[in-house]
Amino acid sequence: MSDASTNPSDVPHKSESLLVPSKLMRRRNAAETRYKAYGIAAIVISLATLGIMLFTIFSDGISAFSQATLRFPVTMDAATLDPKGNRDIAEMTKVTTIGYKKVLEKSLIDELNTRQVAVDGVSEKDIGAFISGDAPARLRDMVLADPSLIGQTIDFSAFATGRIDGYFKGRVTMETAKLDSNISPEQLQLADKMTEAGILDVRFNPKFFTNPDASDTRPESSGLGVAIIGTLYMMALVVVLSLPLGVAAAIYLDEFAPQNRFTDLIEVNISNLAAVPSIVFGILGLAIFINFGGLPQSSSLVGALVLTLMALPTIIIATRASLRAVPPSIRTAALGVGASKVQMVFHHVLPLAMPGILTGTILSLATSLGETGPLLLIGMEAFVVNYPSGPLSGGVMEPATALPVQVYAWAARSDPAFVERASGAIIVLLAFLLVMNIVAIILRRRFERRW
């Protein structure tokens, strides 16, 4: 017999086994997992967005480095290019690019006829529309440089126009061509046949790095030449201006400056300047350097001055951090063997702090390399076709653009071919940044000392 039911001690216990999680415990553990999941989700979201962004830029932009190119023999018709037949340069310059365009078109049509490449419904004018607008100008320059070419037949390679180029890169399809007044499906079929015949192919395009910008109607011949030169000029000037100034200011503030109101004022200024929106520096450049100082608009000099002012606070802060990392024993030892304070700083502290200073400088240089807003205000988004001259003949005073500004300018244009160009320019820009960051990391790894 059992009296278990009557025994009060047998009433189910309120507390449960430690081995079986209670309701509360389960809730607490769930909260734990949730927090961890939130954290992982946040990291995954941010890294995934970064990945998607870089992926879209690369997949849009990688094709900017190749270009559909026509290759065909060109017969330099003397009757068109040198009507008087005396090879006088002065008279030949009177033949404009229109004359050369005719020569190119005729040669291309002849080549297609001899190779029996044809598609119904493609007129001679449509075939002429394959050739980029910059090819006649290039041919003209070639002929004016070497008049003996007239009458000869030379192998010439010309860019195909943006739409044909887009067809090979998937931007233009038969369906879009039907709606497009600039290109017809028949022309695309002809393009396919020309590829089979070996007249047209897509190849690596070094001119993307060297050509200047081109007008809206010929995306195929636009390049980064002026932007790269402008960026290099600006970066060189920024280093020359900001490194000595920033290091000198940091040395003064950290090693020599007396503790007084004036030094406090400088310190407050530096930390505030680091947080001023970049566009305000553009306003400063416009008002002070261009309107007041009379420096030329769009010039790399003004751009460099603005970027220098922006980079200075970062360089000063980085320099001060690495100066402080040099242990006081070095200073006291130098002073102990009879060095003056200036000698102590320049002979001992500064060399030891140099790797840190250089790393900080390169990183702030990388930031200013990608800066766009202030450069727009000082007129660097202008359409610049002429290369600035060499640095010694005043090239920094001449109009130029910069890589990030070129990205913006291309992105603002309506032809979708320029989106490819803009993405390509970003790839070049990111390559620059990558190199600078790798240099900074190597410097840090190689020379960083722990005391």
Interacting residue with another protein among 198, 244, 327, 351 (CB under 8 A): 244
Binding test (CB under 8 A) with another protein, winner from 15, 392, 414, 450: 392
Does 249 help bind another protein (rule: CB under 8 A)?
A: yes
Smallest separation, CB 155 to another protein (Å): 35
Report, in Å, the least distance between residue 341 CB and another protein: 8
Residue 13: CB minimum distance to another protein, A: 21
Residues in 74-133 at the binding interface with another protein, rule: CB under 8 A: none
| Nearer to another protein (CB atom), residue 92 or residue 247 | 247
Minimum distance of another protein from residue 393's CB (angstroms): 9
Q: Which of 150, 245, 330, 335 binds another protein (CB under 8 A)?
A: 245
Q: Output the smallest distance, CB 305 to another protein, in A.
A: 11
Q: How far is it, in rounded angstroms, from Cα 60 to Cα 65?
A: 11
Q: Which of 28/445 has CB closer to another protein?
A: 28
Residue range at the interface with another protein (CB under 8 A); choices 13-21, 187-195, 213-221, 249-257: 249-257
Q: For another protein, which is the closer residue by CB, 176 or 195? A: 176
Q: Is 407 in the site for another protein (CB under 8 A)?
A: yes
**Residues within window 308-367 making contact with another protein, judged by CB under 8 A:** 309, 312-313, 316, 340, 342, 366-367
Instruction: Kindly tell me which residue out of 103, 422, 428, 443 binds another protein, with binding defined by CB under 8 A.
Output: 422
Q: Assign residue 153 a region: left if phi > 0, alpha if psi is -120 to 50, beta otherwise?
A: beta
Measure Cα distances from 236 to 105, 230, 301, 307 in Å. Answer: 45, 10, 10, 11
Q: Which is nearer to another protein, 135 or 428 (CB)?
A: 428
308 contacts 242 by C-beta, under 8 angstroms: yes
Q: Which of 372, 398, 400, 428 binds another protein (CB under 8 A)?
A: 372
Residue choice 183, 224, 281, 353 for contact with another protein (CB under 8 A): 281
Least distance between another protein and beta carbon 12 (Å): 25
Contact residue for another protein among 10, 47, 152, 198 (CB under 8 A)? 47
Cβ 164 to another protein shortest distance, Å: 22
Q: Which stretch binds another protein (CB under 8 A): 167-175, 195-203, 329-337, 418-426?
A: 418-426
Asked if residue 191 binds another protein (CB under 8 A), the reply is: no
Six-digit token string for 192:
């396919």
Of these, 16, 26, 56, 332, which contacts another protein (CB under 8 A)? 56
**Cα separation, 342 vs 64, whole angstroms:** 54
Binds another protein (CB under 8 A): choice among 222, 299, 359, 423:
423
> Tokens 């065909």, residue?
72
**Subset of residues 282 to 301 that bind another protein, contact rule: CB under 8 A:** 282-284, 286-288, 291-292, 294
Residues near 149 by Cβ (< 8 Å), separated by ≥ 6?
76, 142, 143
